[in-house]
Every structure is written in structure tokens, then in C-alpha cells.
């Protein structure tokens, strides 16, 4: 029976124990490679900059605004890191394949994948049409899942175009790692991060289809974490609240001045505040976080219907 007494007996042992086992890899000087979808603006842009500050080489995608993507890339390069840009329009989800393939080739590998691309439309349930749902599910859910799947296969060193069911092959490899049949194919941590939304768990009277797509991503994150157990790859989500981005018809410089009187933080968020969570989830320190999503929403999630009223662009 444990006595509750620590086995650590001196200061040096205590200080060395501050780093959990496996948090620092033998090749800690190795440059990590990160891909961010929709890195041309908003959260994706600031995530690219945050990861570049942490020493990562970066690949970004864009759907419509190539000049904005090149501005992000120029900023990353000014920080001393490499940055590559590829077009990717997820209205056809399979478009993710050539874009991710090209970025992995240019980067020379992949360690971090941030699925950030998405779209929002506002329609209440009685007015929904099949075309609305098809469009948003293609971009927000099917595109995100397929892109993350492609990235995962590269992280695992698998044939990205294998003939068997892709997730079945990934799950089989994970089971073999857990049973000791094979070693994990990754000696260094892999990080999958999904931009969901507060609407992954919070309902909205006007964003019906958007909310449905984000609920689906929450389930995907949990299932993928189970499938990837033992592979040294984690998957987690970030749930932003209302952030000053083009999706919300706003710019980052508007964040401090755009007031939300019923929100605990009393303002909308800056995309760099979401990027800070992405940076953390991509780090070694986040190795024991897996299969979960984190709210970065200024208190939206704790307010329920009261905050929802303030969320409707009321100053």
C-alpha cells in the first residue's frame, strides 16, 4: 500500500521531474513542419504566425484570396521560417488531396496539421434547403475530415493512396502499436488540431446548418483520438466564440472596440487569442491532452441563452 511519500529525495530530481516522460524528444533541434488550412486570413493567418514564432516551417492553403495568402507567407518568412502556399477549395472536399500532397512534399514532412477552413451561413431551421446543407457539410465537415485523414496518413508514414479503407488501415496500425506488434511509426509527436466553434456544443437559432457541421466535428475528434491511440499523434479541437475575422465581417483591429454587453469578456475575440491555444495544443506540453475541444470564447459558453442574445451583433 502506498504511504503517500514521494520517491523524489533531492532538488535535482525534483527539477528534472518537471518535464514529463516523452515531452522532449532526442531530436529537439529538429524543425517541425506545420500545415494550416485557410491561412490567408483570420485565425489561420495568426496560427501560422504563432507556429512560425515557435520555429515551425509552414504550409498554408487558401480558397479565394491568393494575395492575402502571400501576405501571410511573407510575414512567416520575415520571422525566419519557410512558408509554402497552395490553393484548396473545399466545396469539392477531394480538392484537399493535391494541396496537402504538394505542401508535405515542399515541407519535407508533417508534424502539425491545423484544419481551419470553414464557412458560415445563417438560416433558421424552417427555411433550410438541401443545397444549403450540402454546401456547408462539404466544406466544414467532409473537407475537414478528408484533409485531416490525408495529413494523418503522412504523419504515420503510410501510403496516402492505399487501396484499403483509409481509416480502417489507420485503426489497424494503431491496434498493432497498442498490442506491441509494431512500434509507433512516429518517434516525435504528431499534432492534429481542428477549428470547430462554440457551436460544436452550443445551439443557435440562426446558424442551424453551421451548428450541425460543428457538432459532427466534435464527434469526429473523439473517434479519431480513439483510433489513433498509441501512435504518438493527438487530435484536439479549438472552439472559438465570436472572433474578429472576415467570417464575421470584421477585422482583427476591431476586436477591442466591438462590444458585447452580455458576454463576460464584454468584447469579441482577436484571432491571435485563438492562435495561442493552437500553439499550445501543438506543443510538447500538450502531449497528455487528447480527444477534447477547448472553448476560447470570452465566456460565451457559460452564459447560455442570455449570452446568445448578446451574440447577435448587438452593441
Strands lying side by side in the sheet with 233-240: 83-87, 57-62, 33-36, 112-115, 190-195, 233-240, 293-296
Verify whether residue 210 is a known catalytic residue. yes
C-alpha distances in angstroms, 164 versus 160, 218, 290? Answer: 11, 25, 26
C-alpha 15/C-alpha 291 separation (Å) is 29
Radius of gyration of the chain (CA): 20
Which residues, at least 6 apart from 248, have a Cβ–Cβ distance to it below 8 Å? 242, 268
Q: Among the options 84, 210, 294, 311, which is catalytic?
A: 210
The cell numbers describing 39, all together, are 491561412
For the chain, how far is it from start to end, CA to CA, in angstroms?
60
Q: Which residues are catalytic?
A: 210
Amino acid at each position: 500500500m502506498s504511504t503517500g511519500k514521494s520517491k523524489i529525495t533531492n532538488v535535482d530530481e525534483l527539477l528534472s521531474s518537471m518535464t514529463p516522460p516523452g515531452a522532449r524528444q532526442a531530436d529537439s533541434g529538429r524543425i517541425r513542419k506545420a500545415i494550416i488550412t485557410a491561412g490567408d486570413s483570420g485565425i489561420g493567418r495568426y496560427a501560422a504566425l504563432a507556429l512560425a514564432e515557435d520555429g515551425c516551417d509552414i504550409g498554408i492553403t487558401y480558397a479565394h484570396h491568393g494575395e492575402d495568402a502571400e501576405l501571410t507567407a511573407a510575414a512567416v518568412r520575415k520571422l525566419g521560417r519557410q512558408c509554402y502556399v497552395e490553393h484548396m477549395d473545399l466545396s469539392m472536399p477531394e480538392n484537399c488531396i493535391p494541396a496537402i500532397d504538394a505542401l508535405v512534399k515542399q515541407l519535407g514532412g508533417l508534424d502539425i496539421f491545423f484544419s481551419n477552413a470553414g464557412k458560415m451561413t445563417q438560416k433558421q431551421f424552417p427555411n433550410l434547403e438541401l443545397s444549403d446543407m450540402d454546401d456547408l457539410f462539404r466544406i466544414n465537415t467532409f473537407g475537414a475530415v478528408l484533409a485531416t485523414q490525408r495529413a494523418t496518413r503522412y504523419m504515420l508514414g503510410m501510403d496516402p493512396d492505399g487501396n484499403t479503407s483509409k481509416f480502417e488501415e489507420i485503426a489497424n496500425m494503431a491496434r498493432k502499436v497498442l498490442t506491441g506488434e509494431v512500434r509507433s511509426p512516429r518517434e516525435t509527436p504528431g499534432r492534429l488540431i481542428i477549428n470547430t466553434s462554440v457551436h460544436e456544443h452550443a445551439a443557435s437559432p440562426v446558424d442551424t446548418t453551421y451548428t450541425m457541421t460543428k457538432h459532427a466535428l466534435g464527434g469526429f475528434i473523439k473517434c479519431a483520438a480513439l483510433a489513433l491511440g498509441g501512435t504518438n499523434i493527438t487530435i484536439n479541437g479549438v472552439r472559438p466564440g465570436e472572433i474578429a475575422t472576415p467570417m464575421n465581417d470584421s477585422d482583427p483591429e476591431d476586436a477591442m472596440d466591438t462590444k458585447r454587453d452580455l458576454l463576460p469578456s464584454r468584447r469579441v475575440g482577436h484571432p491571435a487569442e485563438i492562435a495561442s491555444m493552437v500553439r499550445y495544443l501543438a506543443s510538447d506540453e500538450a502531449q497528455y491532452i487528447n480527444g477534447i475541444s477547448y472553448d476560447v470564447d470570452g465566456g460565451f459558453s457559460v452564459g447560455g441563452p442570455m449570452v446568445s442574445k448578446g451574440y447577435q451583433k448587438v452593441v
